[in-house]
């Protein structure tokens, strides 16, 4: 295909090299034939896995067409699969079906070839970026990449986060030299299991090679900010290590990224979804460098990429690559009451979604998830050829998130109950509460606003009681949260802010003045709207932090 055929428009002109041209042709081919590719992917998944227990259970009888699939296979959530996944973990080697997504880290079945599929998606990112940012082969990328602890399931299978398995794979470790993908971090630094030493050595290498660095990144925005905070705390030692010791003490950290790495062209971090809360802080440290969100992926499956990676964060749309899995879309009714449960909604195919509408993503993967609800709500913004492009709207049922932790309403409620139990010894209970993910501190931390109800004779519980409440809440939160606190240092101590009596009533008055119905008013369990934050903060009578770390061990819960 001639370069002129490339529908991927760019201000910079043609692909940088033949390898890029090939990758771009692949994107064009896949997106032009989105529906056909999807049909083939589904048939491939179903025929390969025809003899699995799961597909046999639904009497697919070897059928590989869409109609049979849609009429026989139910839509499911992680919880529905848990018994089967546990059997695999326990050592059952019979063919059953062939990360995290909320709360507890989930065990997700995978297969070896999934690594090829992930690597394929990675291989498309730089060819697209090269269309927009020239000269990236003239320097290096400073990426803060980490592995996490892994464990064995009772049946002896390795259980570990998807990126850990990717970084530990030969696909990553023995990747061929590519001038567009040279990192300052040696593999050994990335693969170091001690998160402090890993960060230290990656930072040291990044500083040593600072003039060569053309892009700075991490997977998520929170990871990059953790690295900047690390530099703030450890620059003296790092500078000492570099012998010349010329890093001046700096009180002013504004624009620190381009000051240290003066050739940085952009930040490579995901700032969509929950990570959007970090954009102002990234702007501050980077002096407004562009923030490129290149891809959209999960433990279950890698989904797609952003074909216009230098656009503003608010305008990011991801193009789902039709070859990654079979994708379906559950029309999302923002105000749905759940009354339609008796008539299951029709799932829409990738090529048939409509611009402007919101959908929940449902996937069928090579690794053996069938019609599985990922939990992400996406809005269609347009099409690239016949492949739709999606704005990430939000994750369902996630109230608070700082890093990879995701805390839902039920978990928060349970944590508040446990704090309330501590208070009950002092004749006090929690009358109302709400929460806020405070990202002005690095690492960010959960803030819980409490309005307390005290028995007549009771006095406001003392500092030590309220800090015990903070710890009691942390102990009740899921293991991903506690790992972030203990092992990764990616989440700061939980804070309780006690507000004056009557504050939540004021909150309701405010909502009603803005049009909320009195009958249907519910206390928001998480807030982020500035006027509401200001109201709450102006009524704070005392604030308290968790005095120590909650319990966490690398072993998986049984
Ligand atoms: P995990 O399986 O724990 O890696 O989490 C995957 C989830 O992270 C996805 O289902 C999304 O909710 C979120 N996520 C991943 N990539 C992005 C992105 N580019 N923008 C917004 N959210 C994302």
Digit-coded pLDDT (tens) for 178-210: 999 999 999 999 999 988 999 999 999 999 999
Residue 319: CB within 6 Å of ligand 1? no
Q: What is the pTM of this model?
A: 0.83
Our mutation pick for probing the ligand 1 site, out of 77, 101, 309, counting the most ligand atoms within 8 A of Cβ, is 101
Residue 72 lies in a domain: yes
Cβ of 404 closer than 6 Å to ligand 1, yes or no, is yes
Distance 259 CA to ligand 1 centre (A): 31
State the pLDDT at residue 265.
98
- What separation in Å is there between the alpha carbon of 379 and the centre of ligand 1? 15
- Dihedral pair phi/psi, residue 10, rounded to 5°: -150, 145
Out of 260, 277, 295, pick the residue that ends a domain: 295
Task: Give the pLDDT band (50/70/90) at residue 98.
Answer: low
Instruction: Name the CA radius of gyration of the chain, rounded.
Output: 25
Q: Residue 476: is its pLDDT beyond 70?
A: yes
For residue 314, what pLDDT band results from cuts at 50, 70 and 90?
A: very high
22-26, 105-109, 373-377: least confidently modelled range? 105-109
Contact yes or no for 363/376 (Cβ under 8 A): no
Instruction: Select from 253, 278, 295 the last residue of a domain.
Output: 295
**Is the domain of 291 the same as that of 413?**
no
Mapping DSSP to helix (H, G, I), strand (E, B) and coil, where does residue 438 land? strand
Contacts of 202-208 spanning 24+ positions with Cβ under 8 A: 202/142, 202/144, 202/145, 202/227, 203/144, 203/227, 203/230, 203/231, 203/234, 203/238, 204/238, 204/241, 204/242, 206/142, 206/261, 207/238, 207/242, 207/247, 207/260, 208/184, 208/242
The CA 293 to ligand 1 mean position distance, Å, reads 12
Q: What is the pLDDT averaged over residues 123-137? A: 96
Note whether residue 161 is domain-resident: yes
User: Residue 205 domain-assigned?
Assistant: yes
| Pairing outcome for strands 140-144 and 348-349 | unpaired
Instruction: Give CA–CA dist 91/20, Å, rounded.
Output: 43
For residue 379, is it within any domain?
no
Q: Mean of the pLDDT values across residues 67-90?
A: 90
Distance 480 CA to ligand 1 centre (A): 15
Instruction: Kindly state whether residues 80 and 226 are assigned to the same domain.
Output: yes
Residue 60 is assigned to a structural domain of this protein: yes
Q: Is 313 in the pocket of ligand 1 (CB under 6 A)?
A: no
Of the residues 269, 295, 321, the one at which a domain ends: 295
Do 135 and 259 lie in one domain? The reply is: yes
Q: Assign 274 a pLDDT band (cuts: 50, 70, 90).
A: confident
Residue numbers of the domain that contains 189: 20-295
Whether residue 5 lies inside any domain: the answer is no
Ligand 1 pocket, residue 164 CB under 6 Å: no
Give me the mean pLDDT over the 303-326 stretch.
97
In a domain, 257, yes or no: yes
The minimum-distance atom of ligand 1 relative to the CA of 273 is: 21
Substitution candidate for ligand 1 out of 104, 114, 296 with most atoms within 8 A of CB: 296
Number of domains observed in the structure of the chain:
2
Query: pLDDT value at position 322?
Result: 98
Candidates 308, 392, 400: which one to mutate for ligand 1, based on the most atoms within 8 Å of Cβ?
392
Pocket test for ligand 1, best of 164, 167, 297 (most atoms within 8 A of CB): 297
pLDDT at 370: 95
Give the pLDDT score at 396.
87
Residue 48, classified by CB atoms within 10 Å of its CB into exposed (0-12), middle (13-18) or buried (19+), is middle
- Regarding the beta carbon of 350 and ligand 1, being less than 6 Å apart is answered no
The rounded distance, in Å, linking the Cα atoms of 296 and 392 is 9
271 in any annotated domain: yes
């Amino acid at each position: 295909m001639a370069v002129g055929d490339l529908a991927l428009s760019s201000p910079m002109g043609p692909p940088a090299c033949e390898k890029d041209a090939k990758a771009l042709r692949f994107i064009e081919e896949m997106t032009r034939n989105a529906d056909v590719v999807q049909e083939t992917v589904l048939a491939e998944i179903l025929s390969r896995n025809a003899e699995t227990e799961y597909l046999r259970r639904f009497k697919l009888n070897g059928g590989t067409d869409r109609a049979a699939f849609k009429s026989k296979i139910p839509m499911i959530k992680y919880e529905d699969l848990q018994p089967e996944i546990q059997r695999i973990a326990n050592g059952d080697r019979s063919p059953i079906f062939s990360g995290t997504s909320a709360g507890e880290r989930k065990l997700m079945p995978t297969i070896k070839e999934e690594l090829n599929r992930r690597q394929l998606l990675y291989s498309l990112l730089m060819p697209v970026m090269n269309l927009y940012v020239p000269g990236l082969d003239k320097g290096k990328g400073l990426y803060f990449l980490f592995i996490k602890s892994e464990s064995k399931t009772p049946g002896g299978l390795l259980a570990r986060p998807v990126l850990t398995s990717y970084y530990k794979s030969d696909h990553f470790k023995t990747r061929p030299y590519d001038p567009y993908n040279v990192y300052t971090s040696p593999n050994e630094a990335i693969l170091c299991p001690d998160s402090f030493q890993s960060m230290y050595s990656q930072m040291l290498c990044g500083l040593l090679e600072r003039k060569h660095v053309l892009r700075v990144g991490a997977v998520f925005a929170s990871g990059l900010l953790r690295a900047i905070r690390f530099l703030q705390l450890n620059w003296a030692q790092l500078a000492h290590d570099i012998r010349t010791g010329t890093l001046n003490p700096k009180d002013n950290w504004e624009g620190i990224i381009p000051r240290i790495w003066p050739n940085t062209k952009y930040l490579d971090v995901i700032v969509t979804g929950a990570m959007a809360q970090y954009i102002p802080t990234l702007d501050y440290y980077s002096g407004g460098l562009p923030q490129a969100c290149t891809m959209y992926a999960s433990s279950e499956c890698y989904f797609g990429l952003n074909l216009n990676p230098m656009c503003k964060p608010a305008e990011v749309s991801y193009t789902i690559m039709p070859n990654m899995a079979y994708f379906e879309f559950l029309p999302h009714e923002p105000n749905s009451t759940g009354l339609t449960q008796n008539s299951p909604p029709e799932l829409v195919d990738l090529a048939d979604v409509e611009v402007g509408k919101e959908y929940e993503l449902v996937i069928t993967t090579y690794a053996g998830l069938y019609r599985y609800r990922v939990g992400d709500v996406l809005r269609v913004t347009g099409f690239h050829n016949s492949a739709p492009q999606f704005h990430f709207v939000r994750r369902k049922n996630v109230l608070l998130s700082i890093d990879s932790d995701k805390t839902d309403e039920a978990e928060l409620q349970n944590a508040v109950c446990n704090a309330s139990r501590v208070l009950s010894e002092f004749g006090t209970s929690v009358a109302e509460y709400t929460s806020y993910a405070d990202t002005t501190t690095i690492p960010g931390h959960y803030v819980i606003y409490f309005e307390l109800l005290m028995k007549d004779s009771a006095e406001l519980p003392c500092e030590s009681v309220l800090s015990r409440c903070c710890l009691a809440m942390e102990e009740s939160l899921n293991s991903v949260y506690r790992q972030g606190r203990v092992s990764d240092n990616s989440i700061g101590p939980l804070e309780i802010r006690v507000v004056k009596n009557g504050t939540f009533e004021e909150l309701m008055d405010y909502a009603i003045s803005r049009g909320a119905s009195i009958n249907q008013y519910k206390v928001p369990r998480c807030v982020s709207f500035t006027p509401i934050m200001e109201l709450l903060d102006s009524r704070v009578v005392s604030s308290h932090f968790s005095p120590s770390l909650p319990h966490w061990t690398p072993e998986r819960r049984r």
